[in-house]
Amino acid sequence: MNGEGKMVCVTGASGYIASWLVKCLLQRGYIVKATVLHLYDPNQTEHLLALDGATERLQLFEADLLKEGSFDPAVEGCEGVFHTASPVLFSPTNPQTELLDPAVKGTLNVLKSCMKVNSLKRVILTSSLVAVAYRGNPFTSDMLVDETWVSDPSHLEEQKLWYNLSKTLAEQAAWRFAKENRIDLVTIHPGFVIGPPLQPTLNVTLEMLLNLINGSQVYPNGFYRSVDVRNVADAHIQAFEIPSASGRYCLVGSNVHFSDLLNIVRQQYPELPLPEQCDYENDALKRFNVSQEKAKTLGINFTPLERMSQEERTVCVTGASGYIASWLVKRLLENGYTVKATVRDTNDPRRTGHLLALDGAKERLHLFKADLLEEGSFDPVVSGCEGVFHTASPVIFGPTDPQQELVEPALKGTLNVLKSCLKEPCLKRVILTSSMASVVFSERPLNPDTVVDETWFSNPLILEQMKLWYHLGKTLAENAAWRFAEENNIDLVTINPGFVIGPLLQPTLNISVQMVLDLINGPEVFPNGFYRSVDVRDVADAHIQAFDISSASGRYCLVGSNVHFSEILNIIRLQYPNLHLPEKGDHGNHFYKEFNVSQEKAKTLSINFTPLEVTLKDTIQSLIEKGFLRI
């Protein structure tokens, strides 16, 4: 399942989890109908309207949890509903009116609206671990909580745990209603949700963290069961997209004592006055374990709590002004990394301006000048990095001097970067941006039944005979990288994408997007072949996942779609009917043969390929916005 053209609803969209959910849904190409309490409150709407894709695919609605029928307009026409709206208060004055009624009645009102929608396929309810763990029996360190546990409302009421009670009663009411009315319901149960906020206001879980580091004298004698907000958003989407998803999903990425949490913060910000003493009487957050088994069936790779440490999150990106690399830098900054990035000229605004404008760049982006052909040039930028993403390599399809323009920079540049990596003791992994060009061109025949995978290697002799110089450069560079990595015990992973397209961040055209522009810009015929493409945002995400997932290894082929050029033109024709597009195929051009590329290994990186329709639309819109295309 993908998001192209699919309409979903997110309730309580201005909230912490919901804001990230809206962001991720828009990135996946969904049309999102989102509810807020007050449409004209900029604190509730501005951060949503500023999201990528919001102008085209985000619609805001005002809705009230306690008003039956209030959600009808927002839910109408939707295939999925993500119900996140529910008050979060730990010390209410009036628990019934402030917490219980909005949680229970609000959930039922949303479900009643869902009953009126014929297109509805599934409802995802944001519940909480507090609706799972509090059964009334004592917690022990060897206890393993899983989705079969259900909190006891009587126990919660006795303990006056009103928020916990509200989430428990709301979930139980939802399951009863769903069963009676045959609604496909899935519930998500996160622990303490932390991570970067999108909204301008503090939520309760982040405020708890802030209070802990903001001059508190003591810390609780308890365990902090947390999960990254981005993992929570991803889990919601996966629970909707995976047909076999069902029931409840507990989400706890880390389970540490508050002292360990403070040690991580202390390493990152040694100047903060953090509490040194434990409040041994404050032991409400008892030690117990939470199963991750069912959550992993959603393809969730939990972000480690240790990633909060700035010192452990510094990475390098070479060739950062390039197309893929610019998106990689953007995604890394969004994920909290400190990025040391190389460009050919730090004084050229066309190479640096779009990078310096990225969110987080002012605080966590450092630019360096480096030359691929100069050994030692990358030493300063690699220093102190635990990860290196080597993307820098020339992309030229008609070189005058292939050896000087392509082969030497690709081959020697890769070895020079790896030699710099050898000098860095804290380095954990190198991610090399390779290409499908270094995979496909072997001696094996290519036909419609062929499935190319990571075991294929292009033959340099064939590439030289065919004068495919770019392909040769990428193949020789990857081969040399694997030899060097094996000889020097470097943990290397390579990413091998097909044609990379999608929106531009940089102000200049790259070759793969130029091909789309050339196809649009008035040729008489189109190639009689197949276009194996992948969205640039998926490629950036795959790089990060290949670094973050400890078990990642080897090569990863990335091809999101594999269609005939005529199908690409049909998609563009539907989206932009005024464009003058070629009608006839060039039947003498058989270079882009029909064959398949396996996605199996790529999926182990939890990559959900962006639909071609979304990628093409975003590519063309970007070309228009940057002045390369006029309609």
Residue type, 531: Y
The Cα–Cα gap between 587 and 237 comes to: 42
CA gap 458, 468 in Å, rounded? 11
What are the angstrom distances between the C-alpha of 6 and each of 12, 25, 32, 563?
Answer: 20, 10, 9, 21
Q: Is residue 513 helix, strand or coil?
A: helix
Residue 617 has phi, psi (to 5 degrees) of -60, -45
3-state secondary structure of 464: helix
Instruction: Tell me the H-state helices in 141-228.
Output: 153-158, 162-181, 204-213
The DSSP result for 367-421, as a single string, is EEE--TTSTTTTHHHHTT-SEEEE------SS-SSHIIIIIHHHHHHHHHHHHHH
Contacts of residue 516, defined as CB under 8 A and 6 or more positions apart, other chains included, come to 501, 616, 619, 620, 623
Which tokens go with 360? 């987080």
Neighbours of 612 (CB within 10 A): 22
- Round to whole Å and give the CA distance between 312 and 265: 12
Q: Which of 23, 167, 330, 474 is catalytic?
A: 474
Q: How many CA atoms lie within 13 A of 552 on its CB side?
A: 27
Query: What's the per-residue H, E or C state across 541-588?
Result: HHHHHHHHCCCCCEEEEECCEEEEHHHHHHHHHHHCCCCCCCCEEECC
Strand-pair category, 254-257 with 223-228: antiparallel
DSSP character for 232?
A: H
DSSP helix/strand/coil, 254: strand
Quick one: how far is CA 358 from the chain centroid? 17
Please report where in the chains the tokens 């199908």 appear, as a residue.
Answer: 567
Is 428 an active-site residue?
no
* Catalytic machinery residues: 474
